[in-house]
Amino acid sequence: GDSVTQMEGPVTLSEEAFLTINCTYTATGYPSLFWYVQYPGEGLQLLLKATKADDKGSNKGFEATYRKETTSFHLEKGSVQVSDSAVYFCALRGTSGSRLTFGEGTQLTVNP
Amino acid sequence: GAGVSQSPRYKVAKRGQDVALRCDPISGHVSLFWYQQALGQGPEFLTYFQNEAQLDKSGLPSDRFFAERPEGSVSTLKIQRTQQEDSAVYLCASSLARTGREQYFGPGTRLTVT
């Protein structure tokens, strides 16, 4: 079945540091890929998505590129802010087009 | 407009009690999903409705879990004879179309079974 693996956390960075959170997946066909963010006390919010190979999703300075050859969708940001502190989830939606399969999440803490 | 709402936000139940968790999706959204999120883990799919039809319940962990959406809007997730392993955050999400559209998540209900 479908699965998503994220890099182990937590991740602690200083403000303005470069961020990478690794995500790899296993799925049949061509899934859609997502990054969701969960701020403390809030619900999951879609951060960015990519629906086909080589697509780049971007939002709020975050980027991720759908790499079919490496089955990866790594999240990057060039300069993190304290307000980026949250839990980040990589997810896929398989070709059946309904349910989401999530990774285990990565806690990011950005210190001033 | 209003997002997905869930109630209660927090629920404490004694082992063996029945609980009912409510989800109000975004108005007009056809699809509704329930997920279970254990502490420190990612959400896991429980069940999916398209309007009032429950099209996929393969993620429900046992026959103690039951979900309904009788009028194609509000949904209720019921857990009978709760066990400690049921302690988790239960997330509801809704989506405008049948497939292939963004899922909007509610804030979740944190269930603690003592």
> How many A×B Cβ pairs under 8 Å?
56
Partner residue facing A98 (CB), from B41, B43, B48: B48
**Amino acid B1: pLDDT:** 57
**Each residue's pLDDT tens digit, A21-49:** 999 999 988 899 999 999 988 889 999 99
**Each residue's pLDDT tens digit, B30-70:** 999 999 999 989 999 999 999 999 999 999 999 999 999 99
Distance CA A82, CA A64 (A): 20
Q: Compute the residue count for chain B.
A: 114
**Amino acid B87: pLDDT:** 98
Count CA atoms within 13 Å of residue A59 on its CB side: 12
Query: Which range, of A72-81, B41-50, B96-105, averages the lowest pLDDT?
Result: B96-105
Amino acid at B94: S
Query: How far lies B60's CA from each of A57, B35, B56, B57, B67, in Å?
Result: 32, 9, 9, 6, 9
**Amino acid B98: pLDDT:** 64
Query: How far lies B6's CA from each of A12, A70, B56, in Å?
Result: 32, 38, 21
Distance CA B2, CA B32 (A): 16
| Partner-chain contact B45 A101, CB within 8 Å | yes
Would you list which residues of chain A are within 8 Å, Cβ to Cβ, of chain B?
A: 4, 32, 36, 41-46, 49, 89, 91, 93, 96-105
> Between these two residues, B98 and A77, which has the higher pLDDT value?
A77
* pLDDT at residue B71 tops 80: yes
Distance from CA of A75 to the nearest CA of B (A): 17
Query: Which range, of A55-59, B10-14, B39-43, B88-92, averages the lowest pLDDT?
Result: B39-43
**Amino acid B100: pLDDT:** 62
When pLDDT is averaged across residues A61-89 and rounded to a whole number, the result is 97
The pLDDT-based confidence of A86 (bands split at 50, 70, 90) is very high
